[in-house]
Amino acid sequence: MGGYLKAGNQILKNTGFVFASGIASKVFSFLFIVYAARILGTGNFGIFALIGAVTFLLSYFGNFGISQMAIREIARNKTRAEELFNHIFSLRLCLVILAYPILVFVVNLLGYGQEVKNLIYIAGFSTIFSTFSSSFRILYIAFEKFKVPSLILIIVSFLSSISNIVVLFLGYGLKGVVWISFFGSLLGAIISGIWIRKRFTKYRLVFNISIWKDLISQSIPFAILSFFQQANRYMNIFFLSKLPGTIPEELAMGYYSSSSSICQAALIVPSSFRLAALPTVASNEENLKLIENIIMSSTKSLLLFVIFPMTLATTFFPREIISIVFGDEYLPAVSALTILGWAYAFQIFNAPVSVTLSASKEIRRFIPWATLGLCINLILAIPLIIYYSFVGAAIAFLVSRIFETVLRNYLLRTIWKIKRLKAREYTREVIIMAIVFSILILAYINSVGSVMLLILTMTLYFISVFSFKDFRQMIFAFIGTKGQSIFGAGKADEEL
Q: pLDDT by residue (tens digit) across 135-152?
A: 777 777 766 666 666 777
* One domain, residues 398 and 281: yes
DSSP one-letter code for 65: T
What gap in Å lies between CA 428 and CA 468, rounded to an integer? 8
Whether 343 has a pLDDT exceeding 80, the answer reads yes
Do the Cβ atoms of 398 and 391 come closer than 8 Å?
no
Mean pLDDT within 122-136:
85
Q: What is the DSSP letter of 328?
A: G
Is 4 strand, coil or helix? helix
- Any idea how long the chain is? 496
Same domain, 125 and 48: yes
Share of the chain above pLDDT 70, in %: 75
The domain boundary residue, chosen from 421, 443, 458: 421
Residues 6 or more apart whose CB falls under 8 angstroms from that of 178 comprise 51, 119, 122, 123, 126
In a shared domain, residues 32 and 58? yes
* pLDDT exceeds cutoff 90 at 211: no
Asked if the model's pLDDT at residue 440 lies above 90, the reply is yes
Asked if 190 and 267 sit in the same domain, the reply is yes
Specify whether 121 is located in the same domain as 161. yes
Nearest to 91 by CA among 224, 229, 210, 185: 210
15 near 276, Cβ under 8 Å?
yes
Task: Check: CB of residue 74 under 8 Å from CB of residue 84.
Answer: yes
The beta-carbon contacts of 298-301 under 8 Å, at least 24 apart in sequence, are 298/273, 298/351, 298/352, 299/349, 299/352, 299/420, 299/426, 300/425, 300/426, 300/429, 300/468, 300/470
Clarify whether residues 219 and 96 are in a common domain.
yes
Same domain, 456 and 324: no
User: Among the three residues 421, 442, 458, which one is the final residue of a domain in this structure?
Assistant: 421
State how far the Cα of 165 lies from the Cα of 52, in Å rounded to an integer: 17
| pLDDT exceeds cutoff 80 at 385 | yes
Identify the domain containing residue 438 by its residue range: 424-496
pLDDT digit string, tens, across residues 442-489: 998 888 888 999 999 999 998 888 877 666 665 555 455 444 443 344
Distance from C-alpha of 73 to C-alpha of 90, rounded to nearest angstrom = 16
Identify the pLDDT of residue 127: 87
Q: Which of 330, 291, 338 is nearest to 310 (CA)?
A: 338
Last residue within a domain, chosen from 421, 443, 468? 421
Query: Which of 50-54, 62-66, 296-300, 310-314 is predicted with the least confidence, judged by mean pLDDT?
Result: 62-66
Same domain (yes/no): 165, 209: yes
Threshold 0.85, pTM exceeds:
no
Contact at 8 Å (CB) between 356 and 413? no
Number of domains in the chain: 2
Predicted local confidence at residue 457, as pLDDT = 92
DSSP 283-326: HTTT-HHHHHHHHHHHHHHHIIIIIHHHHHHHHH-HHHHHHHHT
